[in-house]
Amino acid sequence: MEDNSAYRDLFFEETDENLAILNQEVLQLEQHPNDKAIIDAIFRAAHTLKGMAATMGYETMAELTHAVENLFEMVKSDQIKVSRELISLFFESLDLLTEIVENLRVDESDALDISDLVSRLHQVADTDVVLNESTRQGEETGDLFTYPELEEGDKAAIQAAMSSGYYLYAVGIQVEADSMMKAARAYMLVNRLEQFGDILLMHPPADQLEQGELDGPVTLYFLSKEPAENLLAETEGSSEIESLKIRQTTVKEEQQLKPDEKDLVEEVSPGGDPDLRQVDPADQADELEVGKKKSSARKRTPAKQTIRVDLTRLDQFMNLVSELVIHRTRLEDVSEKNQLQELGEPLTQVGRITNELQELVLQLRMQPFNAAVQRFPRMMRDLANELGKEIDFVTEGEETELDRTVVSEIGEPLIHLLRNAADHGIEKPDERLKAGKPKQGTIKLSAYPEGNRVIVTLQDDGKGLDPRLIEQSAWKKGISTEGLSDEQIQALIFHPGFSTAEVVTGVSGRGVGMDAVKEKIASLNGTIETHSEVGVGTTFRITLPLTLSIIQSLLVKVGTETFAIPQAVIDKVNRFEETQAVPVHKGEVYQHEGQTIPLIRVGEKLELPQAEQALQHVIVVLIGDKRYALVVDDLVHQKEIVIKKLGKELNGLSSFLGATILGDGGICLILDVTSICTRKKAT
By CB atoms closer than 10 A (0-12, 13-18, 19+), residue 363 is: exposed
Q: How far apart are CA 125 and CA 486, in angstroms?
A: 57
Q: How far apart are CA 499 and CA 570, in angstroms?
A: 41
Cα-flanking dihedrals φ and ψ of residue 38, to 5°? -65, -45
Check if the beta carbon of residue 620 is closer than 8 Å to that of residue 673: no
Q: Residue 638 corresponds to which amino acid?
A: Q
Is 47 annotated in the active site? yes
The residue from 25, 69, 226, 450 that is catalytic is: 69
Of residues 253, 279, 255, 249, the one with CA closest to residue 164? 279
Q: How far apart are CA 49 and CA 56, in angstroms?
A: 11
Q: Which residues are CB-contacts of 146 (< 8 A; sequence separation ≥ 6)?
A: 219
Cα-flanking dihedrals φ and ψ of residue 138, to 5°? 75, 30
DSSP 63: H
Check if the beta carbon of residue 664 is closer than 8 Å to that of residue 590: no
CA 196, 202, 203, 208 dihedral sign is positive
Is 327 annotated in the active site? no
Q: Give the DSSP H/E element, type plus range, for residue 429.
A: helix 429-434
Check if the beta carbon of residue 492 is closer than 8 Å to that of residue 470: yes
Q: Give the DSSP H/E element, type plus range, for residue 638.
A: strand 634-642
- Nearest-5° Cα angle at 463, 459 to 467: 100
Check if the beta carbon of residue 220 is closer than 8 Å to that of residue 202: yes
Of residues 74, 86, 91, the one with CA closest to residue 19? 91
Cα-flanking dihedrals φ and ψ of residue 584, to 5°? -135, 180
Cα-flanking dihedrals φ and ψ of residue 492, to 5°? -65, -15
Straight-line distance from the first to the last Cα atom of the chain, in angstroms, rounded to the nearest whole number:
73
Q: How far apart are CA 484 and CA 474, in angstroms?
A: 12
Check if the beta carbon of residue 26 is closer than 8 Å to that of residue 91: yes
Of residues 435, 443, 422, the one with CA closest to residue 509? 422
The residue from 420, 450, 471, 640 that is catalytic is: 420
Residue 423's SS3 state is helix
Q: Label the pairing between strands 218-224 and 167-175.
A: antiparallel
Distances in whole angstroms, Cα of residue 671 to Cα of each of 541, 556, 616: 20, 10, 18
- Nearest-5° Cα angle at 524, 521 to 527: 45
Q: Which long-range contacts (CB under 8 A, 24 or more apart) does 523-526 make?
A: 523/409, 524/406, 524/409, 524/410, 525/645
User: What is the DSSP track for 439-451?
Assistant: SSEEEEEEEEEET
H-type alpha helices, 111-181? 115-125, 133-136, 152-162
The residue from 18, 23, 30, 47 that is catalytic is: 47
Strand positions, DSSP E, 267-319: 267-268, 274-275
Q: Label the pairing between strands 561-566 and 667-671.
A: parallel
By CB atoms closer than 10 A (0-12, 13-18, 19+), residue 305 is: exposed
Is 23 annotated in the active site? no
Q: Residue 333 corresponds to which amino acid?
A: D
What is the separation of C-alpha 87 from the centre of its chain, rounded to a whole number of angstroms? 21
Beta bridge partners of 591: 596
**Looking at the annotation, which residues are catalytic?**
47, 69, 420
